[in-house]
A and B are shown apart, each in its own frame.
Chain A
């Protein structure tokens, strides 16, 4: 670094400090110092002994990179397809643990490790980051985020991983901050407040770094927030743009009668229109619409494509007449400005918490005329895989139902109404993977029979869970999971593998013809990507409820997955990342 660059960096850092202090001003009393003090925090341990640098060109080439895993979902298209085949259908049965790394936090793990030139970055619940030797498990540094006084999140103190760009790693936190750390040392370079946690905002998603920006959405669909995606300058944490997933005007939409599959959603639209006319539309500020899983980035068209979560409150819809745009939708915005491009809503005026969560995948699939088109696909809590035109959002097809559906869309009552799938899915937040040669998307599904109960509930202020009702599972009815392969050109199910427990955590596909997926009982498995035949499994000792990744170091391919269990479905907790290789 020359003198000018050093001076420029010092200037950026001093201004980032200012931004952090200013943004912390709404934190309470003495705690404000803790918030601002983040900029001085450092990781314990030692520096990574090699250089760490991920320029944009490497990130753009991530889909073809058979040594690294540079984004939590593999690449900007989020295919979770790792293009190496040393571990394959012929030898996966011999897969053995190479090492097990234990963190100091025993709680739900949803992290997808990011691996750069033999250095692995993992996160834990409560926002710890570890930098490890990806071949041995040796710990380099360990950063513990010091939470501010308020954290508000519904479903576990999770974190789903870091983003990397150049010499930095980025993590979003439960107290709704973004921190940028030196990838080599763990030193905090800047920290900025994304939103006010006292209003219900928090972060569990992995950010995405692209073109000098760090993209981040928000949790909060259970807290009456106004959802968004924001872009920050990777250099100094300055806010570049905000796209609100709840528009101030027009959130009533088109008063859709049917869902994306053409089924009537039993809305009383006349009553909704009257309510809107009587009370106005100011509830947009608390209408929810969290964007809580990583967005895909279409580099060619400079478009960010993501899905938006449920409206708030989850079950009591009388508070929020209209379609509640852009909740339960796939949305595309401009990468440079955050300007709206298009959206497609799956469920208007959702009162079942069937929000869109599983990350968007960008790929190609046959159009209705059989010609290949650039598409964006999403696995829904409804149990369908949806295939959209990438340029317009037009729905090209939806898959066969992957799990049982019953009584859709019966309205919740005080006494409770049964409807399948339950509020957790179909496909919950779990990222899907695809195999572009086989034309298959792999989706981890839950079958969790539930009754839906509604209860009138006014907005309680931005710091309390605001469901306006409850979900209950049904005694005596078995809950289960199903890994499903869907042909994206036809929507037909190619194969399925049933599991004892509902599946939550995500999928990895590899060029070795394999699909990896874990279960809450601790079993991590490999399947033949073409047939669904189980080829290997290993008991990890705690729930495998995180998406696996793969990478290579020194010519050896590894598969890594976190085994820490899950808060939401109460799977056995742990604190390990288990890394496998061939003997």
Chain B
């Protein structure tokens, strides 16, 4: 929590847009206008770092990451538009997804997270930093899908870090991690 506070303090040094940029309307259907998606397979964008969001948009646009919905959505965005969108969603407050983790799975998930040194990159409290996403409170289903995609080599825009980590996880590990992180 302390780390989260500090991270938000730093984020708040950016200018605070009062209203969402026009292009954010297109994101709202899946992610919510304030970045709090209610569909478990669509990620919560609220509270991510602006850096992470911008880079993911750029990767979708330049083909380093692909998704049948996202890839066409970002195809026509300018760099400034991607920056505006990233700023907007980064400055929204993440809300609880309402996910109720299985306590035993969450316990095992924490052990696996410690072993895998997750916080070295994702920061204490899994708040995210720079180009590393906030995964605390993310949808359980989305976490499972991303870790599985990394493991299976379907998502490869991570410079070898997450693909390498995910290779060492089995399905139970992924389920446990998703319970732990989704419940934070």
Please list the residues of chain A having a beta carbon within 8 angstroms of any beta carbon in chain B.
Answer: 28-31, 34, 104-107, 125-126, 146-147, 149-157, 313, 315-316, 414-416, 453-457, 460, 463-475, 565, 567-570, 573-574
Contact A316 B160 (CB under 8 A): yes
Interface: B148 (CB within 8 A): no
| CB within 8 Å for A573 and B3 given contacts A457-B160, A466-B159 | yes
Can you list 19 pairs linking A and B with CB atoms under 8 Å apart?
Answer: A29-B80, A105-B9, A125-B6, A126-B10, A151-B10, A151-B51, A153-B130, A154-B121, A315-B164, A455-B161, A455-B167, A457-B163, A460-B159, A463-B131, A469-B161, A470-B165, A472-B117, A473-B117, A570-B120
Residues of B within 8 A of A104 (CB): 9
Residues of B within 8 A of A146 (CB): 13
Kindly supply a per-residue 1/0 record for chain B positions 121-155, scoring 1 wherever the CB is within 8 Å of any chain A CB and 0 otherwise: 10110000111100000000000000000000000
Contact A157 B64 (CB under 8 A): no
Contact A126 B168 (CB under 8 A): no
The listed residue with most A CB atoms (<10 A of its CB), out of B9, B64, B117, B161, is B161
Instruction: Sort A-B residue pairs by CB-CB distance and give the 9 closest, nearest first.
Output: A457-B160, A107-B6, A455-B164, A455-B160, A106-B2, A470-B164, A466-B159, A460-B159, A468-B160
Contact B130 A573 (CB under 8 A): no
Please list the residues of chain B having a beta carbon within 8 angstroms of any beta carbon in chain A.
Answer: 2-3, 5-7, 9-10, 13-15, 50-51, 55, 64, 79-80, 83, 111, 114-117, 119-121, 123-124, 129-132, 157-161, 163-165, 167-168
Contact A472 B168 (CB under 8 A): yes
Apart from A465-B131, A473-B114: 4 A-B pairs, beta carbons within 8 A: A107-B3, A156-B129, A466-B159, A569-B120
Contact B168 A465 (CB under 8 A): no
Residues of B within 8 A of A573 (CB): 2-3, 6, 124
Contact B168 A471 (CB under 8 A): no
Distance, CA A105 to CA B13, complexed state (A): 14
The listed residue with most A CB atoms (<10 A of its CB), out of B83, B111, B129, B160, is B160
Contact A454 B164 (CB under 8 A): yes
Contact A568 B2 (CB under 8 A): no
Residues of A within 8 A of B159 (CB): 313, 457, 460, 464-468
Residues of B within 8 A of A153 (CB): 129-130
Main secondary structure of the interface of B (DSSP, over half): helix
Distance, CA A206 to CA B111, complexed state (A): 35
Residues of A within 8 A of B5 (CB): 106
Contact A570 B119 (CB under 8 A): yes
- Chain B nearest Cβ from A482, distance in angstroms: 20
Contact B131 A464 (CB under 8 A): yes
Distance, CA A147 to CA B161, complexed state (A): 27
Distance, CA A106 to CA B6, complexed state (A): 6
Distance, CA A467 to CA B160, complexed state (A): 6
Closest chain B residue to A469 by CB distance?
Answer: B164
- Chain B nearest Cβ from A144, distance in angstroms: 8
| CB within 8 Å for A460 and B168 given contacts A107-B6, A152-B130 | no
Residues of B within 8 A of A455 (CB): 160-161, 163-164, 167
Distance, CA A147 to CA B130, complexed state (A): 12
